[in-house]
Structure 1
Amino acid sequence: MVSSDKMTKTVVVRVDRVVKHRMYRKYVKRKKKFMAHDEMGSAIGDKVRIVETRPLSARKRWRVVEIIQKAEK
């Protein structure tokens, strides 16, 4: 899901996942942010698919290939 679109042709994509804690056996949420190149103009809240690509800048190594679901306004 896109969490920020303030940069030109770049979005921050947050990936959430649920994992089981090894010791306590409780499910906990983990999240990670990826900076991705965006030629499609996605907005905050859109669900997008990203793929790894060559390094485009110091922190950008992902690219948006499709918008799966647009955010409701």
Structure 2
Amino acid sequence: MSLASSLLHPLHSLKLSGGGGGSGSGSGSSTFLHGTAPLSLLAKPAAVSLPAPRRPATSLPAIRAMRSLQGRVVCATSDKTVAVEVTRLAPHPKYKRRVRKKKKFQAHDPENRFQVGDLVQLEKSRPISKTKTFIAVPVAPRKSKAASKSGGDGEGELGLPLESQGQQEG
């Protein structure tokens, strides 16, 4: 029996000398040269029961951010479908400069109301077909700089006359 246990646990059968010149330390547990850990502590640990992994509550849904993109319609020939090109800026992997990256998405347009060049917002939805998982939503056009400059009648953005124009009149 002791032969089998010595084959199974070779650390128990090792006898190392202590810090002194003797061959054995005299006590039941021997120590290493550089430390004081007894061999009984270095044996295989008993089976440790780990706590069961925590599972998320099933009543709460997973929180996912709604994906929303903005782009320009580039193709509107299909029925109830528009192709929207989304442009984003991403750093170049080697040169670290921001580069324009374009990607085309197919979006659902149930009333066929979008034309080429329209600015639309893409809202994520359930898959409508193999390639369509977005719904196109109209976006209000931004004021252009040319429209704000031309509609002024010599007045600034606040509706006040500019100083340069006041000096020219007087």
Counterpart of 2:99 (choices 28, 41, 58) is 28
Moved more, 58-67 or 43-52: 58-67
Q: If each structure's helix is expressed as a fraction of its own residues, which one has the higher value?
A: 2
Counterpart of 1:56 (choices 107, 119, 128) is 128
| TM-score, normalised relative to structure 2 | 0.38
CA distance in 1, matches of 2:115, 2:94: 39
Which is greater in Rg? 2
- SS, match of residue 77 in structure 2: strand
- Structure 1 spans left out of the alignment, 5+ residues: none
Count of residues in correspondence between the two structures = 69
Report runs of 4+ in structure 1 exceeding 6 Å deviation: none
Any conservation in 2 of the 1:36–1:62 contact (CA below 8 Å)? yes
- SS, match of residue 68 in structure 1: coil
* Sequence identity percentage: 36
C-alpha displacement of 1:48: 0.5
| TM-score, normalised relative to structure 1 | 0.84
Aligned to 2:108: 37
Taking CA–CA contacts closer than 8 Å with sequence separation of 6 or more, which of the two structures ends up with the larger relative contact order? Answer: 1
- Structure 2 spans left out of the alignment, 5+ residues: 1-71, 142-170
